[in-house]
């Protein structure tokens, strides 16, 4: 009887708070969520998403239905050529009310092809082999982006508003060495490998979304974690440069002109264009093992609103409860977005929604309820019911341009 009452309370709380949390008229909610919908083999997630009772996907959908973003970047949903995994998540989970919440529909979506699990043909980890079969860790270490099979850990953009697909730009093929000031570790890769190695461990995408009379560019990426390497710091350096890409993309054209997209178009984002930088960037400005200067530079970029940072009650609470390295962190734990709950990293701010300066921020948050909140079951403690990352959202007001109606 007590269990049933708790379930009723959770359902009622979800239903009541969902309506209260939706953005006001004329405001647009942008969000990023690392949903951890990745399998250990190709096709596994597609198969699991065929089952509408799969609890992990149900709770991921419930989290999204609670926050109800207008534009959402999903990190770590396995890629397939037809976009079938994403379609099943939308149809079997988001389009069905979870935990007493209203269904949610995204009529526009963009599935980004990924470098993860794409064989490079080179011995990038220098273990003496470049011929590991898919599914082995050595295969992933030698891929253009770490993955046990092509498309693992990919990403997608979901939108209530039209995506201008013909204007989408991707930088999946951009070589690392072609980034101005690239921090490729000297002497680690052979010349042929260094010539071929791509910057993006997944992809860097510019997805224009038409909202009312405005176009907002969703600038999304998911840099490699700055770990799982050695003193050469090849992953830390790559994470730094994957983040720095966006600063260069927003810079004056003399720097951005060296960036060539997969369609052969050159240059960065035009001055004055509205944008939101989004994704799991795997870097905390102050704590953790990443080279924090890249994310600090992006947060301080003159075109970017680097603050105030989204916050939560749960992040601060978990840092206190878990203790350890968290107690020595310099950053505010209320701004943490990932619960790594370990002795080395602790909890960190790694997930970002950063609007351009012409999109006034009116509200923001990290979906990380406190332990005594009925919603806590959607995030939980280790082992997590969905992901070790938390959904991050920001509401912005779209100022109409001259002679334009509000969105």
- Position 18 scores a pLDDT of 42
Low-confidence ranges of the chain (pLDDT < 50): 1-20, 403-407
The tokens of 323 are what? 């203790």
- Position 91 scores a pLDDT of 98
- Position 13 scores a pLDDT of 43
Report the predicted TM-score, pTM, of the whole model to 2 decimal places.
0.93
CB under 8 Å to 299, separation ≥6 — which residues? Answer: 285, 306, 307, 354
- Position 25 scores a pLDDT of 59
Domain spans of the chain? 2-116+151-397
pLDDT digits (tens, 9 = 90+) for 217-266: 999 999 999 999 999 999 999 999 999 999 999 997 777 888 999 999 99
Question: Domain 2-116+151-397 adopts which CATH fold?
Answer: Deoxyribonuclease I; Chain A (3.60.10)
| Torsion angle, alpha carbons of 28, 34, 39, 40, to 10 | 160
Q: How far apart are CA 349 and CA 238, in angstroms?
A: 18
Q: How far apart are CA 169 and CA 110, in angstroms?
A: 11
- Position 23 scores a pLDDT of 63
Question: Which residues sit opposite 361 in a β-bridge?
Answer: 396
CB under 8 Å to 375, separation ≥6 — which residues? Answer: 10, 13, 14, 17, 66, 369
Distance set, CA 203 to CA 151, 200, 292 (Å)? 11, 5, 21
- Position 344 scores a pLDDT of 81
């Amino acid at each position: 009887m007590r269990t049933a009452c708790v379930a009723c309370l959770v359902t009622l709380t979800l239903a009541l708070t969902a309506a209260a949390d939706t953005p006001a008229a004329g405001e647009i909610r942008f969000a990023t969520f690392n949903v951890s919908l990745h399998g250990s083999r190709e096709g596994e997630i597609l198969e699991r998403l065929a089952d509408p009772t799969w609890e992990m996907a149900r709770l991921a959908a419930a989290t999204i239905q609670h926050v109800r973003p207008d534009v959402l970047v999903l990190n770590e949903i396995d890629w397939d050529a037809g976009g079938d995994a994403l379609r099943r998540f939308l149809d079997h989970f988001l389009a069905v009310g979870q935990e007493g919440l209203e269904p949610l529909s995204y009529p526009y979506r963009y599935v980004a092809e990924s470098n993860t699990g794409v064989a490079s043909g080179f011995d990038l980890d220098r273990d003496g082999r470049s011929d590991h079969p898919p599914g082995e860790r050595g295969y992933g270490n030698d891929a253009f982006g770490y993955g046990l099979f092509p498309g693992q850990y990919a990403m997608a953009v979901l939108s209530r508003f039209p995506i201008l697909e013909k204007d989408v730009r991707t930088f999946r093929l951009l070589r690392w060495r072609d980034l101005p000031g690239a921090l490729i570790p000297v002497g680690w890769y052979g010349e042929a490998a260094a010539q071929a190695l791509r910057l993006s461990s997944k992809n860097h995408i510019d997805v224009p979304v038409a909202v009312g009379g405005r176009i907002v560019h969703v600038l999304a990426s998911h840099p490699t974690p700055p770990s799982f390497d050695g003193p050469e710091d090849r992953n830390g350096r790559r994470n730094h440069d994957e983040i720095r890409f966006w600063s260069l993309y927003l810079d004056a054209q003399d720097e951005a002109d060296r960036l060539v997209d997969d369609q052969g178009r050159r240059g960065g984002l035009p001055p004055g264009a509205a944008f939101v930088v989004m994704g799991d960037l795997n870097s905390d400005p102050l704590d953790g093992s990443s080279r924090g200067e890249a994310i600090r530079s992006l947060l301080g970029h003159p075109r970017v609103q680097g603050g105030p940072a989204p916050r939560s009650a749960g992040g601060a609470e978990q840092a206190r409860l878990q203790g350890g390295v968290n107690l020595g962190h310099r950053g505010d734990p209320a701004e943490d977005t990932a619960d790594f709950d370990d002795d080395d990293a602790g909890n960190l701010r790694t997930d970002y929604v950063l609007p351009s300066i012409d999109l006034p921020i009116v509200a923001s948050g990290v979906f990380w309820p406190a332990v005594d909140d009925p919603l806590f079951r959607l995030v939980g403690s280790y082992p997590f019911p969905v992901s070790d990352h938390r959904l991050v959202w920001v509401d912005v007001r779209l100022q109409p341009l001259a002679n334009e109606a509000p969105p």
